[in-house]
Amino acid sequence: MLDATLQELGWDDRWASELEQLDENNLVAGRIAAQHRGEYVLWTGTGELRAELPGRIRYDAAVTGVLPAVGDWVAARVRALEGRATICNVLPRRTSMVRKEALGGSHAQVLAANVDTAFLLNGLDSDYSVRRLERYLVLAWESGAEPVIVLTAAGTPARRTRVSRPRPGTSSTAACPCRPTPRRRPGAPARPSGRRP
């Protein structure tokens, strides 16, 4: 269950001004926390609600390809007795992480909206890819979010020198929650734990 105020979720005077400009009564502010096949989880000042879209927004989305996304701030009409809401308007996005449509499609998919900081997690294991990390950096920069690279398993010395210098405008950190375990050769006996004599 949600245990945060709207201000802790990013609500500010600019968002409040956008909501006031709608000039409709009985609308509450909410932030989309999740989307489940046409149904949304909405965080409001009174808690978490399930919400759906009216036909008007669905119809417009068929033309524009724009649907509410996780992170969007919305104006909703709450049905308190049902514990549900209807999303009436999506407030203008400040930033959006967008995946471009493959093969020349006409609509892009918004992955997340209104993101200030994007944490790009990447393990330094055999699946590590500098090119993939660069693609994620471009996605974050194009969205308007500040990228922060987080590398896990920092105890892998072969990879450390390759990623030690982040690009300008990027923060980076290395995280290793535990001491790396040395790898054994197949068939080699296990070493006893503890100190050697």
pLDDT tens digits, one per residue of 138-155: 999 999 999 998 888 755
Q: Which fold has domain 13-93?
A: OB fold (Dihydrolipoamide Acetyltransferase, E2P) (2.40.50)
Indicate whether 159 pLDDT > 50. no
CA 160 to chain centre: 26
Q: How many residues does the chain have?
A: 197
Give the Cα separation of 9 and 77 in Å (integer): 20
Task: Identify the pLDDT of residue 67.
Answer: 86
Helix (H, G, I), strand (E, B) or coil at 73: strand
Cα angle vertex 37, ends 36, 39, to 5°? 60
pLDDT (tens digit, 9 = 90+) per residue, 4-51? 889 999 999 999 999 999 888 889 999 999 999 879 999 998 889 999
pLDDT (tens digit, 9 = 90+) per residue, 84-127? 999 999 999 999 998 877 666 666 788 899 999 999 888 887 78
Range from 63-72, 84-93, 94-103, 172-181 that averages highest in pLDDT:
84-93
Task: Return the domain boundaries, the chain.
Answer: 13-93, 116-175
139: amino acid identity, one letter: L
Residue 31 pairs with which residues in a beta bridge?
A: 43, 73
The average pLDDT across 167-191 equals 54
- Which has more confidence, 73 or 4? 73
Indicate whether 185 pLDDT > 80. no
Task: Identify the pLDDT of residue 23.
Answer: 80
Environment class of 94 (CB within 10 Å of its CB; exposed 0-12, middle 13-18, buried 19+)? middle
